[in-house]
Amino acid sequence: HTFANDWKSKLTVAGAEHREDTEMFYMLSSTDSPTGYSGLGSKYKDKNLELSGDYSLSGPFMLGGREHQLTLGANAARQRNRESSQYGDILNYSPVTLEDALHGYLPRPNYVAALPAATSNYTDRQKSVYAGARFSLTDDLHVITGARMLSADSNGDNYGSARKVRIHGKVTPYAGIVYDLTPEYALYASYTEVFNPQYYLDGQGRVLDPLEGKSYEAGIKGQLLDKKLNVSAAVFHAKQDNVPGSSVYDASLGGYVYEAMSYDSSGLELEASGEVAPGLQINGGYTYVYITDDNDSRARKFIPRHALTSSMTYQLPMAPKVKVGGSLSWQSKTQNDDAPAARQ
């Protein structure tokens, strides 16, 4: 809705329901089985309901003889999840032959009641209010600032472990500054705090603390070729705590458990997109990132240190509705942190 004073309000509501009821047969290679294979029959049910809403109010205001922009808002989200995994009285890692499996000769099992370690029943809720403002200190200098206050709670059980989260009134601020060098070029810098509840479990079956972090970025943005080509260059640094790191399967908890890790990352980004000649569009970028852990050792090696992407399309002059193009991407080698021998 648009008001007479150029203020605008917006309400967004979204909902989704997912249901699943499946039976699956798994065939595994097994050295303990006389046939070389073992089979497992299972039945899985899932019902997931999600509902979210967001309301915002934004518009201009006068201060110090200059016009500025203000945004106020609130949102809420709710997720309810019910899952169960049942296993059969037969085909419970029992020996099977490949021939019987391929021809459908295996009997259908009777499924026993799901154990607590094979079920989930929980509800997650989040509520937040936020405010942001853009102050035009001069015609060329702008300051952006704002904050979000979050409350979240979870109740229930997730595959044998309590899903308990209680967060109330956590404030995360952000700030930025933009200076217009010319009508085509602008310098900017920003600071952002991150706070996200999470539901991964540690080795004691407890929910990991919320992911927290701070990020800094500075760069330059520009427009070339009569503002048809956008270019940018930026450097960044981020620190995050309580990041889910290496995981192992814990049979007693019926799922994977994670170790909370802290990481520092630094890097740079170069990007260009737009029209460089009549009908010729390009889009490309280069990213360099280096990530370290608490011991200042390189970490998260599955993320490439160098990455390059590029794409191009050309609209044929003799056939305006026809475009030809191509894309190319390259990245430096990566490595699995939990299995160093796995590289690509």
pLDDT tens-digit profile of 9-39? 999 999 999 999 998 888 777 676 677 788 8
Q: What are 121's two structure tokens? A: 């029943």
- The pLDDT assigned to 287 comes to 98
For residue 343, the model assigns a pLDDT of 63
The C-alpha atoms of residue 324 and residue 69 are separated, in whole angstroms, by 42
- Could you tell me the pLDDT band of residue 164, with boundaries at 50, 70 and 90? confident
How many helices and strands in the chain, by DSSP H and E?
1, 14
In this predicted model, what pLDDT tens digit does every residue of 114-124 receive, in sequence order?
777 788 899 99
| Residues above pLDDT 70, as percent of the chain | 95
Asked whether residue 67 carries a pLDDT value surpassing 90, the answer given is yes
Separation between Cα atoms, residue 67 and residue 286, nearest integer Å: 37
Query: What span, in angstroms and rounded, lies between the C-alpha atoms of 130 and 74?
Result: 6
d(CA 146, CA 191): 11
Please tell me the predicted confidence (pLDDT) of residue 337: 67
Using the structure block, give the residue that is written with the tokens 């390259």: 330
**Residue 222 confidence (pLDDT):** 97
Range scoring the smallest mean pLDDT among 122-136, 142-156, 202-216, 244-258: 244-258
Q: Which pLDDT belongs to residue 184?
A: 94
Instruction: Assign 89 a pLDDT band (cuts: 50, 70, 90).
Output: confident
Q: Which of 68, 251, 88, 89 is nearest to 142 (CA)?
A: 68
| Among 54, 35, 154, 39, residue whose Cα is nearest residue 88 | 39
Domains and CATH numbers, the chain: 8-32+46-82+116-331 (2.40.170.20)
Classify residue 97 by its DSSP letter. Answer: -
Res. 331: pLDDT tops 80: yes
Residue 240 has pLDDT above 90, yes or no: yes
Q: What is the mean pLDDT of residues 277-284?
A: 95
Over residues 232-255, mean pLDDT: 84
- Cα separation of 274 and 161, whole Å? 51
% the chain with pLDDT above 90: 61
- The per-residue pLDDT for 145 is 98
- pLDDT higher than threshold 90 for residue 140: yes
**273 confidence band (pLDDT: 50, 70, 90):** very high
Rounded distance, CA 343 to CA 338, Å?
Answer: 11
Give the Cβ contact number of residue 265 at 10 Å.
18
Which pLDDT score, from 0 to 100, does residue 281 have?
A: 96
Mean pLDDT of all residues belonging to the chain? 90
Inter-residue contact 95 to 35 (CB < 8 Å): yes
**pLDDT band per the 50, 70, 90 thresholds, residue 96:** confident
- The per-residue pLDDT for 251 is 62
Of 58-72, 96-110, 146-160, 198-212, give the lowest mean pLDDT range: 96-110
Local confidence band at 217 (pLDDT 50, 70, 90 cut-offs): very high
